[in-house]
């Protein structure tokens, strides 16, 4: 499926469920470094299996077409399996002796899967593809670049242009900082309409932490920074706007909405913060008119969040060299743009991202965010820690102390890092 994070709707479970054994990236290499040379490489034409978590027929058909084209060129064959539950099916497969050779893996699962020994690290074999630096960092764990990012999404600000115009706002009012965001959110809040509606977890509020100059873990991933002053300032801004009645979580709107795109489409949110999957809201709400701009900067500068999947290769694959060659064919600019045209994902390379922005200028803000975005926490065993924090964060509209939640996140996260 395209790179995105949960929006509060079950369909976007992102294949993240389950599985300490869920695998991510892997692969071998063709350099002189014998540590990176594939150990399990079948001779002659092979049959590869690829398991994906698809967003629909358009994605499935596009991936199958790309795999078939590579097969026709090389004499190999590829069976593409569109999983109904990627997490569960990969978990079962990796408990067996015959996992899929290639598969989608969410960035937040990288550490867990790598630590479980399910991933073959082949990042050095594709590092010259020109990936966005943030993506390379996102798929690096314990000093190893594991796998080729297949695409990415960032958060941006979406504005309902009909409500914007109705409130007497113009392009000159597009917010550049938090003060500007507060000002327009206040003008847009009226009756059933709340100025800004966002999802109720770290995948949206975390952008404010980044804009304040912080994040919940250090850049090297070795130290928790959840109780740092920038983290507290970021959540304080969310709470400030919420207390003023100009920001709500999508779960707190009337009627309640499943995600920011639904709030925007139903007219209960004049603005939202979502990724480039927001295009789905246009399909659900054909009368919706909106524009996309970069998120306003905070006291720490510009900040947004990044979500991505990589092409994982199984450590148990018996055709590692061929799997790497298949992945190399999938990350070319030409092929990534075919995927973009088919189902809207943004290419993971700098060349591809530039081509995407030129072809789809309405999405340029998402591409721009890739230059300063924060990737997800990819540490092993961190899911339970974040689940607890997100459950607390979701109650902000009903009270509670965000600073206390951050202190608890600091404590729990430190324990997880130590374990």
Question: Quick check: is 3 in a domain?
Answer: no
Dihedral pair phi/psi, residue 140, rounded to 5°: -105, 130
- Asked if 259 and 406 sit in the same domain, the reply is yes
Question: Quick check: is 45 in a domain?
Answer: yes
Residue 91: what pLDDT?
86
What whole-number distance in Å separates Cα of residue 198 and Cα of residue 184? 15
- Asked if 162 and 287 sit in the same domain, the reply is yes
Question: Quick check: is 4 in a domain?
Answer: no
What whole-number distance in Å separates Cα of residue 202 and Cα of residue 372? 18
Q: How many domains does the chain have?
A: 2
Q: How far is CA 69 from CA 62, 134, 335, 346, in A?
A: 11, 30, 11, 21
- Asked if 395 and 360 sit in the same domain, the reply is no
The list of the chain residues with pLDDT below 50 reads 1-37
- Asked if 116 and 221 sit in the same domain, the reply is no
Residue 23: what pLDDT?
30
- Asked if 407 and 316 sit in the same domain, the reply is no
Kindly state the tokens that stand for 350: 């700098």
Dihedral pair phi/psi, residue 245, rounded to 5°: 80, 15
Question: Quick check: is 2 in a domain?
Answer: no
- Asked if 289 and 312 sit in the same domain, the reply is no
Please give the distance of CA 89 from its chain centroid, rounded to a whole number: 21
Please give the distance of CA 61 from its chain centroid, rounded to a whole number: 22
Question: Quick check: is 5 in a domain?
Answer: no
For 234-260, how does the pLDDT look when each residue is reduced to its tens digit (9 = 90+)?
A: 999 999 999 999 999 999 999 999 999
CATH number at residue 338: 3.40.190.10
Question: Quick check: is 211 in a domain?
Answer: yes
Residue 5: what pLDDT?
43
Ramachandran assignment for 105, one of left (phi > 0), alpha (psi -120 to 50 degrees), beta (any other): beta
Domain with 178, as residue range(s), is 156-294+381-418
- Asked if 49 and 174 sit in the same domain, the reply is no
- Asked if 313 and 400 sit in the same domain, the reply is no
- Asked if 32 and 116 sit in the same domain, the reply is yes
- Asked if 132 and 27 sit in the same domain, the reply is yes
- Asked if 144 and 97 sit in the same domain, the reply is yes
Pairing of strands 156-160, 269-274: antiparallel
- Asked if 105 and 184 sit in the same domain, the reply is no
Residue 11 CB partners (closer than 8 Å, separation 6+): none
Residue 167: what pLDDT?
97
Question: Quick check: is 126 in a domain?
Answer: yes
Alpha carbon distance, N-terminus to C-terminus of the chain: 31
Question: Quick check: is 82 in a domain?
Answer: yes
């Amino acid at each position: 499926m395209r790179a995105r994070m949960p929006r509060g709707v079950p369909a976007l479970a992102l294949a993240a469920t389950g599985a300490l054994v869920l695998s991510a990236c892997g692969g071998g290499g063709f350099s002189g470094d014998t540590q990176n040379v594939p150990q399990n490489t079948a001779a002659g034409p092979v049959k590869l299996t690829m398991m994906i978590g698809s967003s629909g027929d358009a994605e499935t058909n596009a991936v199958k077409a790309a795999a078939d084209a590579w097969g026709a060129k090389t004499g190999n064959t590829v069976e593409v399996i569109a999983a109904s539950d990627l997490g569960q099916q990969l978990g079962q497969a990796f408990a067996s002796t015959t996992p899929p050779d290639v598969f989608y893996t969410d960035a937040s699962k990288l550490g867990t899967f790598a630590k479980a020994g399910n991933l073959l690290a082949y990042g050095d074999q594709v590092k010259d593809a020109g990936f966005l630096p943030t993506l390379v960092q996102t798929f690096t764990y314990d000093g190893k670049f594991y796998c080729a990012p297949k695409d990415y999404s960032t958060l941006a600000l979406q504005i309902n242009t009909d409500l914007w115009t109705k409130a007497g706002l113009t392009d000159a009012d597009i917010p550049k900082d938090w003060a500007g965001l507060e000002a327009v959110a206040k003008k847009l809040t009226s009756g059933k309409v709340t100025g800004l509606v966002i999802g109720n977890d770290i995948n949206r509020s975390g952008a404010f932490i980044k804009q304040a100059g912080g994040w919940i873990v250090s850049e090297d991933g070795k130290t928790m920074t959840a109780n740092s002053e920038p983290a507290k300032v970021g959540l304080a801004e969310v709470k400030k706007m919420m207390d003023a009645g100009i920001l709500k979580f999508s779960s707190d709107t009337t009627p309640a909405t499943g995600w920011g795109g639904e709030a925007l489409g139903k007219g209960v949110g004049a603005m939202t913060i979502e990724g480039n999957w927001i295009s789905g809201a246009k399909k659900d709400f054909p009368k919706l008119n909106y524009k996309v701009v970069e998120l306003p900067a905070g006291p720490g500068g510009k900040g947004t969040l990044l979500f991505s999947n990589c092409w994982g290769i199984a450590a148990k694959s018996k055709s590692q060299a061929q799997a790497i060659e298949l992945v190399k064919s999938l990350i070319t600019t030409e092929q990534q743009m075919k995927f973009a045209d088919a189902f809207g994902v943004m290419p993971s390379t700098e060349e591809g991202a530039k081509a995407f922005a030129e072809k789809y200028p309405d999405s340029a803000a998402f591409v721009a965010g890739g230059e300063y975005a924060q990737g997800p926490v990819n540490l092993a065993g961190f899911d339970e820690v974040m689940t607890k924090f997100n459950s607390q964060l979701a109650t902000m509209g009903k009270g509670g102390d965000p600073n206390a939640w951050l202190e608890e996140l600091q404590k729990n996260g430190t324990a997880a890092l130590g374990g």
